[in-house]
Structure 1
Amino acid sequence: MRKPNGFGSVKRLSGNRRRPYVYVISQGGHQRPIEYFATQIEAEIFASDYNKVHRNTSLADHRLTFAELYYRWLSRHIADTAPSSSAVCGYKNAFRHCSSLHCMPYADIKYSDYQRVIDDMRHSGLSYSSLKKVRSLISLMSEYAIKIEAGGKNYAPLLTLGRNHPVRPHKPFSRQKINKLWKILDYPDVDTVLILLYTGMRIGELLQLLKSDINQRQQLIRITKSKTESGIRTIPIHHRIQNIIMRRIQMPGQFLITDKNGMPYNYGHYCDIWKRIMIEIKAIGHTTHDCRHTVATLLDNAGANETAKRRILGHAGGDITERVYTHKGLRQLRKCIELLK
């Protein structure tokens, strides 16, 4: 499509750059860069919006593509809901799986096109969780398309994912493995695994935890960032990890879990740390999420109150009575967490 005179252009810069695409306009006989971008589509979207605002010009016969809708939706979604970095990574991975749809006009995409993406993923051996994330992305984008009157329909509820066959069922840590962790407590970052095993936190919640989220006087952890609404909660600190938490608070940096220089770990870095610790205790195959399963299993075995257990783990209540009318105080939550030995 030929662009009107003075519309500007998108160029790709040479070299290994984080944002290699630049939108430029002609001014005084020279090309002036306006903004830099990670992808060409983001740059094209900016160029279109820039000309609407500054020159009251739009591209003739332009049709919104799936990719353009995604980038418009993502920026709006981040501004409105401030999702976690892991959630944004999930959106980006799901978008990559939809590569066959990227250049298609959004309003022309039908159920069969979306289902073909899902079927191709299944045949490639991707997990049920990956399929769900793609369906969720399609649903979120479709809802945004309705808001901006971009046409098309929300086919997400009609998509068939097939049966859920867990790739690797989660399994709790044995008492022997937990005891091994206590025996090598001085080994680098072993304390982080014990924190997970005595709180039931998700790894993302732990890595985002600030020191200011710890109430030292009452020995409480406030989870303020989580993947679900139910995940925003308060967890009493088990007496066995109180000293571990206090030592972490005395380290540099504003985050609870950092390296010696006070720099927080990202998920990729922590995965390397986790693998090293699992090799040390001969527990290869365990994942960070197994810690939550361990807490849930041990509390079940100890006869913990189901509502208190849900509050600690950040699970949604099973029925309306539990969600609305049952209020578990800190004393009851502490009694529940102390059932872990």
Structure 2
Amino acid sequence: MRKPNGYGSIKKLSGKRRRPYVFVVTQAGRQKPIAYFCTQVEAEIYAADYNKIHTNRSLPGHKMTFAELYYRWLPAHIDNTSPAESTIYSYKNAFLHCQPLHTKIFADIKYVDYQHIIDNMRRHGLSYSSVKKVRSLISLISKYAAKIEASDKNYAQLLTLGKNKPVRPHKVFSRQKINRLWTHTDSPGVDTVLILMYTGMRCSEMLNLDKSDVNLRQQYIRITKSKTAAGLRIIPIHNRILPLVQARMKMPGQTLIADDNGQPYNYGRYATIWGHVMTLIHASGHTTHDCRHTVTTLLDNAGANENAKRRILGHADGDVTDRVYTHKNLRQLRKCIELLK
């Protein structure tokens, strides 16, 4: 579609740039850059909004594509819900799986188009969890489309995901492997695996921990950033990992888990550390989530109180409305966590 005179234009700059697309307008006979973007779609959205505000006009006959709707929805959703970084990453990954839909007019997309995306993912061996995230994204975008009156259709609940067969069942760490971790506490990253092993935290929860979330005097960790509401909880610090936590508290940086320069780890950087530790203790094939399954199994074997175990792990069927724990509650949780040997 040809843009009207004075609308401005989008150019792609040469070289390797993080934001290679620039929206420019003509002022006093010269082109002036207004803003830079990672993708052309983001630049097109900005151009449309810019002209609505500054020139009070829109492109005639414009219809919103799937990609444009996504790029409009995501910042609004982040502002309204403040999702975790891992959740935002899953949205972006799900959007990439929907690539065949990116340039389609959103209002023209039918059930069969969405189902084709799901079916194609399963044919290529992607997990039930992956296709479920794509369905969730489709539902969220469709609800946003209804809100801004771009479409009133939501096919998400009609989509068939197939059977939920785990790609790789989680494995519990053996006592031998746990003992090997304790013999290598001076090796880089081993302390972080032991912290996961004696708290039941999700890896993302550990990486998001600020030092202000750690109470050394009363010896507990407060989880303030989690993928679920039930995940917001308190975990007593097991006596065996207390020295490891204390050592981490003395290191540079705002977060508990940081490198020697005080820089926090994202999951990608931490995965490298995890891999080195697993090689060190001869435990290939394990994932970070296996630590949570190990904690669950060991507490079950030790006859732990079920309610206390749920609170420590942050499971939704526990009493998640009690956000301020009494000393008695904390003692009960500590009694439970100390069952780990």
Q: Alignment partner of 1:304: what SS?
A: coil
Contact 2:25–2:34 under 8 Å retained in 1 = yes
Deviation at 1:99, TM superposition (A): 0.8
Aligned to 1:226: 226
Alpha-carbon separation, structure 2, partners of 1:92 and 1:230:
24
Please say if residues 108 and 152 of structure 1, whose CA atoms lie closer than 8 Å, have aligned partners that are also in contact.
Answer: no
Deviations 1:147-176 (A, max 9, x none): 111114111111100001111100110011
Q: Give the corresponding residue for 2:2.
A: 2
Which residue of the partner structure matches residue 79 of structure 2?
A: 79
2:139 equivalent in structure 1? 139
User: Residue 208 of structure 2 corresponds to which residue in structure 1?
Assistant: 208
Could you tell me how far apart the structure 1 residues matched to 2:32 and 2:235 are?
A: 54
For residues 209 and 316 of structure 1, the distance between their equivalents in structure 2, rounded to whole angstroms, comes to 21
After TM superposition, the structure 1 stretch with the greater mean CA deviation from structure 2, 219-228 or 258-267, is 258-267
Matched, 1:25 2:33: no
Residue 323 of structure 1 deviates from its aligned partner by 5.5
- How far the C-alpha of 1:125 sits from its partner, in A, is 1.0
- Tell me which amino acid in the other structure corresponds to 1:121: M
Q: Secondary structure at the match of 1:239?
A: coil
Alignment of 1:182-197 (within 5 A): 182-197=182-197
Query: Any runs of at least 4 consecutive aligned residues in structure 1 with deviations exceeding 2 A, and if so which?
Result: 322-328
Paired residues for 1:169-318 under 5 Å: 169-317=169-317
Q: Residue in 1 aligned with 2:64? A: 64
Percentage of pairs with the same residue: 68
Secondary structure at the counterpart of residue 241 of structure 2? helix
Q: Secondary structure at the match of 1:146?
A: helix
TM-score, normalised via structure 2 length: 0.97
SS at match of 1:136: helix
Q: Is this contact kept in 2: 1:109–1:152, CA < 8 A? A: no
**Residues in 1 aligned to 2:259 and 2:69: alpha-carbon distance in whole angstroms:** 39
Shift of 1:271: 0.5
Distance in 1 of aligned mates of 2:224 and 2:83: 12
**Matched residue SS, 1:312:** helix
Residue 317 of structure 2 aligns to a residue whose secondary structure is coil
Following superposition, the deviation at residue 88 of structure 1 comes to 1.2
1:234/1:225 Cα in 2 relative to 1: closer, same or farther (>3 Å)? same
Shift of 1:329: 1.2
The residue that corresponds to 1:108 in the other structure is 108
Distance in 2 between residues matched to 1:49 and 1:6, nearest whole Å: 14
2:42 aligned residue: 42
Partner of 2:14: 14
TM-score (norm: length of structure 1): 0.97
Instruction: Specify the SS of the correspondent of 2:94.
Output: helix
Contact 1:308 / 1:333 at 8 angstroms: preserved in 2? yes
In 1, are the aligned partners of 2:8 and 2:23 still within 8 Å (CA)?
yes
Name the residue aligned to 1:333.
333
Contact 1:19 1:37 (C-alpha < 8 Å) held by counterparts: yes
Q: Distance in 1 between matches of 2:151 and 2:250?
A: 55
What secondary structure is seen at the aligned counterpart in 2 of 1:119? helix
- Answer yes or no: is the 8 Å Cα contact 2:142–2:151 preserved in 1: no
Matched residue type, 2:229 = E
Distance in 1 separating the partners of 2:144 and 2:169: 35
Rounded Cα–Cα distance in structure 1 between residues aligned with 2:47 and 2:101: 22
**Partner SS for 2:240:** helix
Cα distance in 1 for residues equivalent to 2:314 and 2:137? 23
Are 2:252 and 2:261, in contact at CA under 8 Å, matched by a contact in 1?
yes
SS in 2 for 1:317: coil
RMSD: 1.4
Unaligned stretches of 5+ in structure 1? none
In 2: Cα distance, 1:335 partner to 1:139 partner? 43
- Output the amino acid matched with 1:290: D
Distance 2:40 2:321 in 1: 48
Per-residue Cα deviation, 1:94-116 (whole angstroms, up to 9, x for no partner): 00110111111111111111101
Q: Which residue of 1 aligns with 2:91?
A: 91
CA distance in 2, matches of 1:125, 1:325: 41
Is the contact between residue 106 and residue 152 of structure 1 (CA under 8 Å) also seen in structure 2? no
For residues 16 and 320 of structure 2, what CA distance do their matches in structure 1 show? 51
Mapping of residues 161-176 of structure 1, within 5 Å: 161-176=161-176
Structure 2 residue runs of 5 or longer lacking an equivalent are none
Find the aligned partners of 2:264 and 2:62 in 1 and give their Cα distance: 44
- CA drift of 1:324 comes to 6.0
Shift of 1:325: 9.0
- The DSSP-based 3-state class of the residue aligned with 1:64 is coil
CA distance in 2, matches of 1:324, 1:260: 38
